[in-house]
Structure 1
Amino acid sequence: MALDRQGVDDIVSSAASLRRFLHGLPGVDQVGAQERAARLATRSIKKSAKAEAIDLAISMVDLTTLEGADTPGKVRAMCAKAAHPDPSDPSVPRVAVVCVYSDLVAEAVRALRGTGVGVASVATAFPAGRAPLDAKLADTRRAVEDGATEIDMVIDRGAFLAGDHRKVFDEIVATKQACGDAHLKVILETGELVTYDNVRRASWLAMLAGADFIKTSTGKVAPAATLPVTLVMLEAVRDFRAQTGRQVGVKPAGGIRTTKDAIKYLVLVNETAGPDWLTPEWFRLGASSVLNDLLMQRRKLTTGVYGGPDYQTLD
Structure 2
Amino acid sequence: MRCCSVIDLTTLAGDDTDANVMRLCHKAARPIRPDLVKALGMENFKITTGAICVYPNQVAVAKKYLKAINAEHIPIASVATGFPAGQTPLKLRLEEIRMAVADGASEIDIVINRTKALQGDWQTVYDEVKLMKEACGAAHMKAILAVGELGTMENVYKASMVCMQAGSDFIKTSTGKEGVNAILPVGLVMVRAIRDYLATTGIKVGFKPAGGIRNAKQGLTWLMLMKEELGDEWVKADLFRIGASSLLIDVERQLYHYVYGRYAAEHQLAMS
8 Å contact kept, 2:144–2:175: yes
Q: Which residue is 1:108 aligned to?
A: 62
Hey, what's the Cα distance between the residues in 2 that align with 1:253 and 1:309?
24
Hey, what's the Cα distance between the residues in 2 that align with 1:211 and 1:287?
21
Hey, what's the Cα distance between the residues in 2 that align with 1:303 and 1:238?
41
8 Å contact kept, 1:296–1:308: no
Hey, what's the Cα distance between the residues in 1 that align with 2:257 and 2:151?
40
8 Å contact kept, 1:120–1:152: yes
Q: Which residue is 2:146 aligned to?
A: 189
Q: Which residue is 2:164 aligned to?
A: 207
1:294 maps onto 2:245 in alignment: no
Hey, what's the Cα distance between the residues in 2 that align with 1:234 and 1:308?
37
Hey, what's the Cα distance between the residues in 2 that align with 1:78 and 1:276?
27
How many angstroms does 1:273 deviate by? 1.6
8 Å contact kept, 2:206–2:240: yes
Q: Which residue is 1:57 aligned to?
A: 3
Q: Which residue is 1:70 aligned to?
A: 16
1:174 maps onto 2:131 in alignment: yes
Hey, what's the Cα distance between the residues in 1 that align with 2:142 and 2:120?
22
Q: Which residue is 2:26 aligned to?
A: 80
Hey, what's the Cα distance between the residues in 1 that align with 2:232 and 2:153?
24
SS for the counterpart of 1:98 is strand
What are the residue-to-residue correspondences of 1:22-37 with 2, within 5 Å? none
How many angstroms does 1:198 deviate by? 0.9
8 Å contact kept, 2:80–2:110: yes
Where does structure 1 differ by over 3 angstroms across 4 or more consecutive aligned residues? 87-92
Hey, what's the Cα distance between the residues in 1 that align with 2:57 and 2:126?
26
1:136 maps onto 2:93 in alignment: yes
Residues 71, 266 of structure 1: alpha-carbon distance in 2 compared, 3 angstrom cutoff: same
Give me the identity figure in percent.
46
Hey, what's the Cα distance between the residues in 2 that align with 1:310 and 1:195?
43
Hey, what's the Cα distance between the residues in 1 that align with 2:150 and 2:161?
14
Hey, what's the Cα distance between the residues in 2 that align with 1:112 and 1:287?
19
Q: Which residue is 1:52 aligned to?
A: none
How many angstroms does 1:306 deviate by? 2.0
How many angstroms does 1:94 deviate by? 0.7
Q: Which residue is 1:38 aligned to?
A: none
- TM-score normalised per structure 2: 0.93
Q: Which residue is 1:95 aligned to?
A: 49
8 Å contact kept, 1:296–1:309: no
Hey, what's the Cα distance between the residues in 2 that align with 1:142 and 1:122?
11
How many angstroms does 1:225 deviate by? 0.3
Q: Which residue is 1:8 aligned to?
A: none
8 Å contact kept, 2:56–2:99: yes
SS for the counterpart of 1:286 is strand
8 Å contact kept, 2:33–2:269: no
How many angstroms does 1:243 deviate by? 0.8
8 Å contact kept, 2:109–2:141: yes
1:231 maps onto 2:196 in alignment: no
SS for the counterpart of 2:222 is helix
1:114-157 C-alpha deviation (Å, 9 max, x unpaired) = 42211000110000001111101111001000110100000010
Hey, what's the Cα distance between the residues in 2 that align with 1:194 and 1:136?
24
8 Å contact kept, 2:27–2:271: no
1:248-300 C-alpha deviation (Å, 9 max, x unpaired) = 00000001111111111111111112222110110111112110000011122
Residues 308, 238 of structure 1: alpha-carbon distance in 2 compared, 3 angstrom cutoff: farther
What are the residue-to-residue correspondences of 1:269-280 with 2, within 5 Å? 269-280=226-237
8 Å contact kept, 1:102–1:143: yes
1:259 maps onto 2:213 in alignment: no
Which of 183, 201, 210 is the matching residue for 1:244?
201
1:122 maps onto 2:79 in alignment: yes
Structure number with greater Rg is 1
Hey, what's the Cα distance between the residues in 2 that align with 1:159 and 1:299?
47
How many angstroms does 1:87 deviate by? 4.3
Hey, what's the Cα distance between the residues in 1 that align with 2:64 and 2:27?
14
8 Å contact kept, 2:7–2:51: yes
